[in-house]
Amino acid sequence: MERFYHGDYPPAGKPLVPSFVTSCKIFLGMKSRIALIIVFGTALVATWPIHSKIAQARRNAVYQRAIAPFQRDLHLGMAKADVKHYLDSQHFEYFPVRIGGDERTYEIKIGEEDGLVCEWNVYIALEFSSNDALREVHIRKIGTCL
């Protein structure tokens, strides 16, 4: 059977509208494609939370490795001047942050997280008490969401 016709279309004896059988084959082909798309879409939606949890666990492990030297070298109750000296001697880039009007926290940026809706900056936070003694060393995330 020729694929391309020369001359008048449709060729003599060929109907212009496809037959019922051809229509059914096209419909069933579309139906199976739609079903395949639905199956793959469902699988993607079902596995996304698992993937997200695994990725977050990996990031958290990296953050714990980053904070470990600070928790080891800086003891709670240490003077703010001594902490500043430690950070300067180790050449860490840190930012004094004001929370509630007082400059009682140093932040060291260790990462960024991009999500579907939010973007997060991840810091090691060194928080000081009102008498300038190191009170807490922890991970802090600050983000913006759409």
In a domain, 95, yes or no: yes
Alpha carbons within 13 angstroms on the beta-carbon side of residue 42 total 6
Domains: count for the chain: 1
Phi, psi (degrees; rounded to nearest 5) at 12: -60, 130
- Tell me the mean pLDDT in the region 24-38: 72
In a domain, 12, yes or no: no
In a domain, 5, yes or no: no
Q: How confident is the model at residue 43 (pLDDT cuts 50, 70, 90)?
A: confident
Query: How does pLDDT run across 64-111, given as a tens digit for each residue?
Result: 999 999 999 999 999 999 999 999 999 999 999 887 666 689 999 999
Largest CA distance in the chain: 99
Where do runs of H (alpha helix) occur along the chain?
A: 20-73, 80-89
Between vectors from CA 141 to CA 139 and to CA 146, what angle results, nearest 5°?
170
pLDDT at residue 126 greater than cutoff 90: yes
**Tokens 């880039």 found at:** 93
Q: Which residue range forms the structural domain that includes residue 64?
A: 20-145
The pTM is what?
A: 0.67
Helix (H) or strand (E) holding 142: strand 134-145
In a domain, 80, yes or no: yes
Of the candidates 60, 30, 31, which has an alpha carbon nearest to the alpha carbon of residue 139? 60
